[in-house]
Structure 1
Amino acid sequence: MTPTTCSSCSSPLPAVAADQRRPDLCAACVARSSGAVPPSTLPPVPSWPVGPGAPGAPPMGYGTPAALVTRTRVPDALLLGIAAAAIAGVAWWAVVATTKTTFTYGAIAVGILVGQAVLIGARKGGVVPALIAVAASLTALVVAEYFIQRTVAINDFNANVPLWLGFSTAKDIVREAVEDEPLTAVFWGVAAVAAALSAGSRTRRPIL
């Protein structure tokens, strides 16, 4: 049976023997045994079996794996931001309609929820997710404020207010509500900051 590894150093043998008289030796060991090459110029003979998975060989070293690069997913951030803004806005309006109390602090909760939703969609914080979160949360607050004022008018004055009166009328209703209660604008600003901080920090990662 033709040997497959060198009997001296256990390195794999070539298909054609280096010395037909000693087919069990590799070229380096043939040269070493014949004295054609000084031993100092030859590579050292390993003290363990060579070859992948050879028994007794030292374990293979593995370097530190490269960190995964997480890219900001803007479309997902937009989608989840819009969905969260709609849900949070409806929830805020429902609380006010049920309790008949203007829950101003709810604006901050809207900002936090929208910011976290944008961060989940983006998978990475940054300037773009922060801007998306601010825009989505403020839009939710403005739209919810219109329907809150409509609900208040119906409950307090028995007014027959249509569901939608147009953008111009809605803008006037929201502006008058903010002018009558300046703290509303303050809480909207706090909500925008909360949304930006939730989605904008590059060190933050989504909770879910």
Structure 2
Amino acid sequence: MSTLLLNARNISWRISGRTLFSGIDFSVRTGEALELRGPNGSGKSTLLRLLAKFQQPHEGIVQLNTRRVGFLGHKSGLSGLLSVFENIKWYCTLAKVHYTDTELEDRLHLFELTHEKQTLVQELSTGQVRRCALLCLSLAQYNLWLLDEPTAALDSRGISLTQSLIEQHRKNAGAVVMATHSTDPIPEATTVELNVT
């Protein structure tokens, strides 16, 4: 039996007197995925921020039925002045999860960051920073993932890894809402189309 995690009803947002989107309705249950699609400027990132409750919609209601929500935006949320491993440990502390160093080493290997373990995040490539942020997200045991272009700056291996992470998260009774331009849709995902008005 699936559980309702997110319910969005009649969501509207205006900017500079212009309606960016209106009448957005959807719900997300455990095991489900929803893709937000549309051209640049259509409001995908804004809608994700509303779902995360960083801002309130001008109209409508966002109901979250879990406090275990992970948000990955265009910025990684990592500290450039800390090493990859220090960021991971700090993230685990914030998320109140515990892993042994051996388990974290295995995760570093999976994300192809073993050799960057002691490297400051500010010295990583954009793709490596993205992989580190995804690694942290995968550790946190959040029920609902809100992802803004999660495969941006990733190579084909990174994209494949991200797709596998999403699939595994859903199998573990998680759910995903993802803003994307990807031409490869998530299997069995619902799509919400946003258009520039």
Relative contact order (C-alpha < 8 Å, sep 6+): which is higher?
2
Q: Which has the higher strand share?
A: 2
Larger-Rg structure? 1
Query: TM tier, shorter chain?
Result: under 0.3
TM-score between both structures, scaled by the size of structure 2 = 0.22
Which structure: greater helix fraction?
1
With normalisation by structure 1, the TM-score equals 0.21
